C-alpha cells in the first residue's frame, strides 16, 4: 500500500471509529441530562464528513475502506458500557473521549510526519484537518473536566 492510501486508511479508520464510539456513547446516555450531548452530536457530523472525504480519496487509489473490526467495536462498546455504569458524569465522559481522541491524533500525526515528503498534498491536508478537528474537540471536552 502506498503512503497516500495508508494515510487515508488511518484517517478513515479514525473517523469511522470516532463516529461509532460517539454514537454508541450518545445511545448510552440518551435518557440522562448530560450537558456534553450537544458537543457529541456535532462531533458525529464532523466525523461523518471525514469518512466521506477519505472514502472519496481512497477510491482514487482503488482502495476499499475497511470498517473497524467487530472485535474493536465490541471492545469499545464494553469500555463505554463499563465507564457509563461506573460514572456517567460529563467529566468522566469527557475524560474517556479525550483519551480516545488523543490516540487518533497520535497515530495520524506520526503518519503525517513519516510521509510529509512523499504523500500527496491533498492527503496531507486532510490528515492535518482531522488532527486540528480532534485537537479542537479535546479543548472543548476539557471544559467538562
- pLDDT tens per residue, range 38-72: 999 999 999 999 999 999 999 998 888 888 787 88
The architecture in CATH of the region 3-142 reads Up-down Bundle (1.20)
Structure confidence at residue 1 (pLDDT):
55
The structural domains of the chain, with segments of one domain joined by +, span 3-142
Q: What CA–CA distances, in Å, run from 14 to 68, 111, 143?
A: 9, 13, 23
Low-confidence spans in the chain with pLDDT less than 70: 1
Structure confidence at residue 82 (pLDDT):
86
Nearest to 61 by CA among 4, 114, 112, 23: 4
Q: Which residues contact 35 (CB under 8 A, 6 or more apart)?
A: 90, 144
Structure confidence at residue 67 (pLDDT):
80
Contact 20, 73 (CB under 8 A): yes
Cα 117 to Cα 122: distance, rounded to the nearest angstrom: 13
DSSP state of 62: T
Q: What CA–CA distances, in Å, run from 82 to 85, 89, 93?
A: 5, 13, 11
Look up the pTM and report it. 0.91
Amino acid at each position: 500500500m502506498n503512503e497516500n492510501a495508508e494515510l487515508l486508511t488511518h484517517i478513515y479508520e479514525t473517523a469511522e471509529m470516532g463516529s461509532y464510539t460517539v454514537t454508541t456513547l450518545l445511545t448510552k446516555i440518551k435518557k440522562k441530562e448530560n450537558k456534553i450531548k450537544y458537543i457529541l452530536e456535532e462531533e458525529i457530523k464532523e466525523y461523518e464528513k471525514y469518512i466521506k472525504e477519505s472514502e472519496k480519496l481512497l477510491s482514487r487509489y482503488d482502495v476499499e475502506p475497511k470498517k473497524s473490526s467487530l472485535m474493536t467495536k465490541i471492545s469499545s462498546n464494553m469500555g463505554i458500557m463499563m465507564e457509563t455504569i461506573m460514572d456517567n458524569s460529563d467529566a468522566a465522559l469527557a475524560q474517556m473521549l479525550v483519551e480516545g481522541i488523543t490516540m487518533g491524533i497520535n497515530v495520524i500525526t506520526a503518519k503525517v510526519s513519516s510521509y510529509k515528503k512523499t504523500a500527496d498534498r491533498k492527503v496531507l491536508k486532510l490528515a492535518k484537518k482531522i488532527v486540528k478537528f480532534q485537537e479542537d474537540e479535546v479543548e472543548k471536552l476539557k471544559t467538562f473536566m
